[in-house]
Amino acid sequence: MPSNIDKFSDIRPYNDEEIQPAIKRVINSEEFIDAILGFRFPKLSKYLGFALKPLVRQYLLFKWRKINCIDQMQKIMGRYVQRMIDSTTTNFTYSGLENLDATKNYLFVSNHRDIAMDPSFVNWALYSEDFKTVRIAIGDNLLSKPFVSDLMRMNKSFIVKRSVTGVREMMKSLSHLSDYICSSLKEDSSIWIAQKEGRAKDGFDKTDPAIIKMFYVNGKKKKIPFAEYIKSLNIVPVAVSYELDPCDQQKARELYEKAEFGEYKKSEFEDIESIVSGIIGKKGHVHVAFGKPLSGAFENADQVAEEIDSQIYQNYFLHPSNLIAAEQDVDNIPVQDIEAFKARIQAIKPELQDTVLKMYANPVGHYTS
């Protein structure tokens, strides 16, 4: 049993003293080194992997030997994020932070389009304006590989246990998570969490009231009225919008197969492949819009979810890709942008093209309704 001081050790991000042991575990992981070699040296690794592995290990051990705290890890990750923004986006913008206080902690409830990039872009916007970076909620379905779990928890991620079975265990897990979120907000950190489990593959951003009910488990235990507890969480809706979705074809394939065949079976490493595609894929213009902290006297989870949705729809930044797909206000869009987007759609498998177009068009309906 974890001590009262560290009762969240099973789900929380790593502490400073846990960073070096985690780094050594990651570097000693065969799967991690194979992944690095496959990404950086795809051809050489097939024939010379046995010779390259010890060299890569020694290089990483040397490069990461002085990382001993979360702040150092965040600075290193910041350099990678800056490089990613420079190489995969045409523009990165954000809005709404003038409505927030950098000295306060917030529960950022965000729409969810990309597994790794959504919280990364939110963090970069916060970091750019001298706000504290967030702790990131991540489902344990993405942590099947120990080295992935180590990497995520070194970078301020905490675990949402989705794989638990049985009503009693599920309630215990939800209570534990609710306690952790409350504890983080009270003590030293803001939180990022998606508005529902899984990405919005069809372009519809919709908050699951079950997320709000999970937040309140802690308040209910303490017999704090619902409206009072929700207000104390400082919930801020966030809308992240991508001009181009690097995973649009992957998402469309899943939606298409479910519609045509009634089911879709993920491959073993599909979530990891989606993470990589999201990181290295071209995104065009990315915008992060921060809403205002929820302040109403909400009576139930449905009302809270509706307010989060309302702010996300109101603040969502519509790109030319959205308007072209929805065939709205196209006269104001440069011809070269229209041609480039149409060429992107034409390069997709014919049976998936309509699904991808709807994915880009769907936010326009919410924005204009």
Q: Which long-range contacts (CB under 8 A, 24 or more apart) does 38-42 make?
A: 39/276
Residue 76 CA to residue 64 CA, distance in Å, equals: 10
SS3 content of the chain, % helix, strand, coil (to 5): 55, 10, 30
**Cβ pair 316, 367 in contact under 8 A:** yes
**Cβ pair 100, 106 in contact under 8 A:** yes
Beta bridge partners of 237: 109
pLDDT score, position 368: 53
pLDDT score, position 1: 40
Neighbours of 128 (CB within 10 A): 11
The b/e string for 57-81 (b: 16+ C-beta within 10 A; e otherwise) is beebeeebeebeebeebbeebeeeb
Beta bridge partners of 286: 92, 242
What lies within 8 Å, CB to CB, of 182 at 6+ separation is: 218, 219, 233
Residue 362 CA to residue 364 CA, distance in Å, equals: 5
230 class by beta-carbon count within 10 Å (0-12 exposed, 13-18 middle, 19+ buried): buried
Q: Which of 145, 147, 141, 146 has its CA nearest to residue 160?
A: 141
Residue 71 CA to residue 155 CA, distance in Å, equals: 10
pLDDT score, position 367: 63
Residue 342 CA to residue 327 CA, distance in Å, equals: 12
DSSP label at residue 293: P
DSSP label at residue 197: S
**Cβ pair 134, 119 in contact under 8 A:** yes
Mean pLDDT split into 10-residue runs, the chain, 369 residues? 70 95 93 80 78 91 91 87 93 98 97 94 96 94 84 93 90 97 94 95 94 97 97 98 96 93 82 84 97 95 98 96 94 94 96 96 77
Residue in the block written with tokens 């969240």: 8
E-only strand ranges, 84-214: 89-95, 107-110, 135-139, 157-160, 191-194
Q: Which two tokens stand for residue 350?
A: 């014919």
pLDDT score, position 3: 45
DSSP label at residue 281: S
